[in-house]
Structure 1
């Protein structure tokens, strides 16, 4: 049992150094690009148009915010367990616990 434990510890020490060795062996490259500008890569977010019956994901909503229904005309109070959210120019009635969209009012915000 002692030999097995010693071999296991030795393997744990040797394996990480072998994995890091090829990365460390490569020489560093310094490319000289005179007059060129830097390219910045940003994370691109794809927005989605939501429909009734779908699950709402706030990360895919454009201009996401919770909406106070009292500030807008012709918007009734949400039923218990639901709330209104904004996604783009649309007003969505979403279940709080389930996240399922039960109503969509398009073009509410201009």
Structure 2
């Protein structure tokens, strides 16, 4: 009788410890997955003097921490952006590329 009580008690501890795991597992499956969209512009050769269209300017990422990528501070009226794997120094006013740094 003593063995039966110990076995029943140990089963309750094991099942009690599995309950939070199964609840968390069920909650993860009920929650819809978040799909992150990463926009990549497929233009392989950026050239100085090319003017970015409005659509291209919407798709590029601003680079605010240019020192992290060892880029020079942008002059007044320019900003660094990242397109594909390249860094572009573009004019804020009209979107003309003044410098291209390619990453290999």
The TM-score normalised by the length of structure 1 is 0.48
- What is the Cα deviation at residue 64 of structure 1? 2.0
- What is the Cα deviation at residue 98 of structure 1? 1.8
What runs of 5+ residues in structure 2 fail to find an aligned partner? Answer: 1-39
The count of corresponding residues between Structure 1 and Structure 2 is: 63
Q: What stretches of structure 1 move > 6 A for 4+ residues in a row?
A: none
Quote the residue 2:95 is aligned against. Answer: 99
CA contact under 8 A between 1:85 and 1:92: conserved in structure 2?
A: yes
Quote the residue 2:84 is aligned against. Answer: 88
- What is the Cα deviation at residue 58 of structure 1? 5.5
CA contact under 8 A between 1:69 and 1:84: conserved in structure 2?
A: no
Which of 59, 71, 74 pairs up with 1:75? 71
CA RMSD of aligned residues (A): 2.7
The structure richer in helix per residue is 2
Matches within 5 A, 1:9-20: none
The TM-score normalised by the length of structure 2 is 0.50
- What is the Cα deviation at residue 60 of structure 1? 4.0
